[in-house]
Amino acid sequence: DGGITQSPKYLFRKEGQNVTLSCEQNLNHDAMYWYRQDPGQGLRLIYYSQIVNDFQKGDIAEGYSVSREKKESFPLTVTSAQKNPTAFYLCAGRATYNSPLHFGNGTRLTVT
């Protein structure tokens, strides 16, 4: 089955630790995105990548980093510099710039 796979589904970390969220796709999408969703808030864009080896900051990139070494993979690292890392993280991809996004199942990160 084609799709976007995020892992793990739930992640628990202690404050001060970096953590990397995985996002893999087999849809051959050039563009991939990372969003964060907090209760009662909309989706906020963290980073996006339109092509391998290139990525751009979104609206809330501080405290996050990404890499795009291959088309299929777009991991997100939540660093200790992120002040409020507890959230629902969603990875998405799309085929063309006018196509809709397709999301992975999300990773729910809890930092205590």
Partner 1 sequence: RKEVEQDPGPFNVPEGATVAFNCTYSNSASQSFFWYRQDCRKEPKLLMSVYSSGNEDGRFTAQLNRASQYISLLIRDSKLSDSATYLCVVNYAGNNRKLIWGLGTSLAVNP
Are the beta carbons of 31 and 94 closer than 8 angstroms?
yes
**Contact between 11 and partner 1 per CB under 8 A:** no
Q: Which two tokens stand for residue 45?
A: 């864009």
What CA–CA distance (Å, rounded) separates 22 from 16?
A: 19
Q: Is the Cβ–Cβ distance between 11 and 31 less than 8 Å? A: no
Smallest gap from Cβ 31 to partner 1, in A, equals 9
Near partner 1 by CB under 8 A: residue from 21, 87, 90, 111: 90
Which residues inside 33-72 make contact with partner 1, applying CB under 8 A?
A: 33, 41-43, 45, 48, 56
The reply on whether position 101 binds partner 1 by CB under 8 A is yes
